[in-house]
Amino acid sequence: MIERRAAARGVRLRADPVQGVVRLGLPARGGTAAAAQLLADHQGWLAAQVARWPAPIPFVAGAAIPFDGGLLVLDWHPGHPRTPRREGDRLLIGGPVELLPGRTLRWLKAAALADLTPATHHHAARVARPVTQVRVADPRARWGSCTSPRDDSGGRIAYSWRLILAPPLVRNNVVAHEVAHLVHANHGTEFHALLRQLDPNGRAARAWLKAHGAGLHWVGRG
Ligand SMILES: [Zn+2]
């Protein structure tokens, strides 16, 4: 993927493990000779980066997908109920097989919301701040976001549904992080002190996301 940007001063090469693309950034004009040189110089580096990208885990019958720190097998059978139902480490999914990916995705999003909503209200009660909305989306760059109005009408928090694929301690840290933003709209000293109070295990959660976070974006990809 080649991106020309007016503000760019030089050429830049980046392997993006979340989207699975190699980005070559160039200034508005020129830079092609420098870009060719950069690519030639970094061939080995680039190959190593791409080799380390996570493997896609498509939603297909029999697939084992990460879920809540463990694995969940997509157990498809035309005779299973059409609305997916979890039984231990299996997710029973019925109906036409071509509807399996969509049904799995909807079930995961609902499971994420059902987990993250009470967790958010739990932490919000600890800091005595109201929350009016919790929702899930599929952002590429962050795991959560918090909109906190200046008056006390209540904050709105959005999460990546992919957090349900991660262990509970990771979700707890992201929830604590977003709830701490209801009190401090920055990443200052007071914010971090409050976050440590809400979740003393933040270090383990951040380490997990650093090691496995990109891989969550490959779940459900063909
Ligand atoms: Zn933040």
Q: How much distance in Å is there from the Cα of 171 to the middle of ligand 1? A: 14
Confidence of residue 162 (pLDDT cuts 50, 70, 90): very high
In this structure, which topology does domain 100-216 adopt according to CATH?
A: Zincin-like (3.30.2010)
Q: How much distance in Å is there from the Cα of 166 to the middle of ligand 1? A: 19
Q: How much distance in Å is there from the Cα of 4 to the middle of ligand 1? A: 29
**pLDDT score at 206:** 95
Q: How much distance in Å is there from the Cα of 115 to the middle of ligand 1? A: 20
| pLDDT tens-digit series, residues 89-102 | 999 999 999 999 99
Q: How much distance in Å is there from the Cα of 75 to the middle of ligand 1? A: 37
Secondary structure of the chain in the HEC alphabet? CEEEECCCCCCEEEEECCCCEEEEEEECCCCHHHHHHHHHHCHHHHHHHHHCCCCCECCCCCCEEEECCEEEEEEECCCCCCCCEEECCEEEECCCHHHHHHHHHHHHHHHHHHHHHHHHHHHHHHCCCCEEEEEEECCCCCCEEEECCCCCCCEEEEEEHHHHHCCHHHHHHHHHHHHHHHHCCCCCHHHHHHHHHHCCCHHHHHHHHHHHHHHHCCECCC
pLDDT at 151 over 80: no
Q: How much distance in Å is there from the Cα of 116 to the middle of ligand 1? A: 17
Q: How much distance in Å is there from the Cα of 44 to the middle of ligand 1? A: 35
Q: How much distance in Å is there from the Cα of 197 to the middle of ligand 1? A: 15
**pLDDT score at 18:** 87
What does the domain layout of the chain look like in residue ranges? 2-51, 100-216
**pLDDT score at 2:** 83
Average confidence score pLDDT of the chain = 93
Q: How much distance in Å is there from the Cα of 215 to the middle of ligand 1? A: 21
**pLDDT score at 125:** 96
Confidence of residue 222 (pLDDT cuts 50, 70, 90): confident
